[in-house]
Amino acid sequence: MATETPSVRSTVRQFFSLERDVLVLSLAMFAFSLGFQMTGRYLSEYLVVLGATPFVVGLYGSFGNVISAVYPYAGGVFSDRVGSRYALTLFGLLSTLGFVVWLVAPLVGPIDLGAVVLEPWLWIFVGLVLAQAWKSFGLGATFAIVKQSVPDDRLARGFASTETFRRTAFLIGPLLAAGLLFSLGDRGGEDILPGFLYVLAVAVGFGAVATVVQHVRYETDADSFGTEFEGVAQIRRDLADLPETLRPLLVADTLVRFANGMVYGFFILVITRIYELDVTLFGYYLNPAVFFGVLLGVEMVVALVSMAPAAIAAERVGLKPVVALGFAVYAVFPALLIFAPADPAVITALFAFSGLRFAGLPSHKALIVGPAERDAGGRVTGAYYLLRNTIVIPSAALGGYLYDSDWALDLPVDALGTLTAGPELAFSVASVVGVVGVGYFLVFGEEFEAYA
């Protein structure tokens, strides 16, 4: 068993030596990840341009949390019944159609039904139902494949290798979006709409090509068909069978993700509407929307560089300290961002710091799937994420409510003065919830024996 460090070079080399079906699936994952990363981080601004309030942006985030909670488990059940090839094709078609719905939303305009008026931003919700379909296929399977293929004491390295490849799309996507916004958008202004329509059109192209390629090139000979879904009883059994060692991790992870979910969709609004950060780099003017894409690129460069060393460090110090580091970055970033000076250099440094949250991701995944039986990694992963993502559902709506509110509360302690709702409160509460999660994990979190 090779123990090569999962560098970018070794990841690419391993990628081209993969079996055909895995190679096809990886290429499709890369293409769809590009489409999602080009569009997803800009959708909050897109919603506002289409007339949505910040509270609606929060509702959109919670709606996405519902889909993230339901789709992975339901998608796995569906794939087991119809086979991977047809499931992949259907999910790919639906995702591509979702990008199309996002693209045509501004062209539809308000629809007056008499009692209600359907605003254009409602179609972004509809598009999300479709666009997220492809993601529903691979979560549990990815965990299970790594679990079955890598020794227990190298799990973090195994996940670092797959994450490095996948996160490359996370780097290229925002930078490609920023390039399109710069070259085809409103260079001198702050209107995201003209350039973002080109971004969505390119995402449609990626989705269409990936769907066709995976359908034509994916072999069906090895497809297996699972047993019939047993309903709620099966879900309860899978949740009850979660290893005891995962309980503290699940509690802490849920708190940290709840905190992140409260404000994740508002990061772009902080840059484009609160700070209105524009820069001139090498003689080229970058408006706030373009600069946000550059910030995401900086964040992902740090993520790609840090994941492999962090996975190696985990083999020496254990998974728990590395996971705690990632959780801590998640927790403190919102407060650091909202109270930072509106200086491009400072904000760039903060997004570079944010990239370190991904350093703990391979170790986090190893800590989830490590205690599972060798043939139960997919089930354990599905149950874990189903429970975590279900609890996190209201986070974005709560964050949107605080962000969009203007009420004030006179506190009983004079030194504290008046507590005013708005972005600062939303981001501060998020950091407090995240820090509680980090503290809980440090006290109660358990190490995986293979790394102890």
Q: What is the pLDDT of residues 125-152, one digit of tens each?
A: 999 999 988 776 555 555 555 555 566 6
Answer for the pair 325, 185: CB distance below 8 angstroms, yes or no: no
Most confidently modeled of 45-49, 106-110, 280-284? 45-49
All structural domains of the chain with their residue ranges:
18-219+243-451
Of residues 275 and 7, more confidently modeled = 275
Q: How far apart are CA 294 and CA 298, in angstroms?
A: 6
Give the pLDDT confidence score for residue 84 in this predicted structure: 64
Mean pLDDT of 173-181: 93
| Cβ density class 103-118: b for 16+ within 10 Å, e for less | bebbeeeeeeeeeeee
pTM score, two decimals?
Answer: 0.85
Q: How far apart are CA 437 and CA 448, in angstroms?
A: 19
Helix (H, G, I), strand (E, B) or coil at 290: helix
Q: How far apart are CA 451 and CA 312, in angstroms?
A: 11
Q: How far apart are CA 31 and CA 208, in angstroms?
A: 10
Mean pLDDT of 321-333: 96
Of residues 86 and 289, more confidently modeled = 289
- Amino acid identity at 117: V
Give the pLDDT confidence score for residue 329 in this predicted structure: 98
User: Rounded to the nearest 5 degrees, what angle is found at the Cα of 291, between the Cα atoms of 422 and 270?
Assistant: 0
Lowest-confidence segment of 62-76, 109-123, 218-232 by average pLDDT = 218-232
How many helices (H) and strands (E) are present in the chain, helices listed first? 19, 6
- Amino acid identity at 20: R
Most confidently modeled of 67-81, 85-99, 267-281? 267-281
Q: Rg of the chain over CA atoms, in angstroms?
A: 22
Tell me the per-residue pLDDT of 50-85, one tens digit each, with 9 for 90 and over.
Answer: 999 999 999 999 999 999 888 876 776 676 666 667
Of residues 373 and 98, more confidently modeled = 98
Q: 199-205 long-range CB contacts below 8 Å, 24 or more apart?
A: 199/38, 199/39, 199/42, 200/39, 200/99, 200/102, 200/103, 201/103, 202/35, 202/38, 202/176, 203/34, 203/35, 203/36, 203/38, 203/39, 203/99, 204/35, 204/96, 204/99, 204/100, 204/103
Residue with tokens 């259907």: 90
Q: How far apart are CA 13 and CA 7, in angstroms?
A: 10
List, as one string, the DSSP characters of 327-344: HHHHHHHHHHHHTS-S-H
116 Cβ neighbours under 8 A, 6+ residues apart: none
Give the pLDDT confidence score for residue 143 in this predicted structure: 54
Torsion-angle region of residue 16: left (phi > 0), alpha (psi -120 to 50) or beta? alpha
The Cα diameter of the chain in Å comes to 72
CATH topology of domain 18-219+243-451: Growth Hormone; Chain: A; (1.20.1250)
- Distances in whole angstroms, Cα of residue 255 to Cα of each of 68, 106, 274, 327, 413: 16, 36, 27, 10, 28
Mean of all residue pLDDT scores within the chain:
82
338 Cβ neighbours under 8 A, 6+ residues apart: 270, 423, 424, 427, 428
Considering the chain, what percentage of its residues have pLDDT values greater than 70? Answer: 73
pLDDT of 94 strictly over 70: yes
The tokens of 438 are what? Answer: 């980090």
